[in-house]
Amino acid sequence: MTSVRSALLLCALPLATAIAEPTGSGNPDAGHRDAVIILVNEAGNPGLAKISFSTLRKVFSCQINNWRQVPGSKRTDAILPFRPDESSTAMKIFRKRIGNVAFGPCVTSISGPNSEEIIASGMGRVPPTANVKEISQGIGFLGWRVPKEGSRALQVGNDNRTPGGPFVAPDQAEILKGRYPLTAP
């Protein structure tokens, strides 16, 4: 309930917020267990609710580059993947959990102290402009946080083994239990 209340409060913040200091992958609400969330633009990808490890690996290695190749998405245009700073905890968790990811040239990377916050904003609600189409194609990963208004955190399924695991949402309880597949080891 606390996390739901926090989420509602964060969603109610005005669009132009200030960031006092860099945010990382820390997850105090989830008992200090770090986790990675996969964000897409809510309006841009209304049908997409979940994604598997194998699809994530293909997206971020650029083996697939069109949304029609992503199960569940109704888009048919190019994917615009985003990743955070190489030294971030999110990158370490992503590599460790997904395994064998060679990031390809289609991936836009952000390096620096605010890389995850920048991606979180990029996947969120876009002010109405003619350029709205480009960012709605995005998918990005970053350390756990309450998604910004207009973005959606996907359920993730670990299909590295057979049979594949279930798709699990990055909820506080699932992260604490370690059931969410992109939880830190």
SS3 7: helix
Reduced to 3 states (helix: H, G, I; strand: E, B; else coil), residue 150 is coil
Please give the size of the binding site for other proteins, defined by CB under 8 A: 35
Per-position x/- string for 54-83, each x denoting binding to other proteins as judged by CB under 8 A, each - no binding: --------------------------x-x-
Please, what sign has the CA dihedral across residues 97, 176, 13, 17?
A: negative
By CB under 8 A, tell whether 108 contacts other proteins.
Answer: yes
Task: Note whether 31 and 176 are within 8 A (CB).
Answer: yes
User: Could you give the C-alpha distances from 16 to 12, 32, 60, in angstroms and in order?
Assistant: 12, 28, 30
Candidate residues 76, 100, 131, 162; the one interacting with other proteins per rule CB under 8 A? 131
Q: Which of 3, 6, 17, 66 lies at the binding interface for other proteins (CB under 8 A)?
A: 17
Contact stretch for other proteins (CB under 8 A) within 14-22, 49-57, 154-162, 167-175: 14-22
Closer to other proteins at the Cβ: 9 or 19?
19
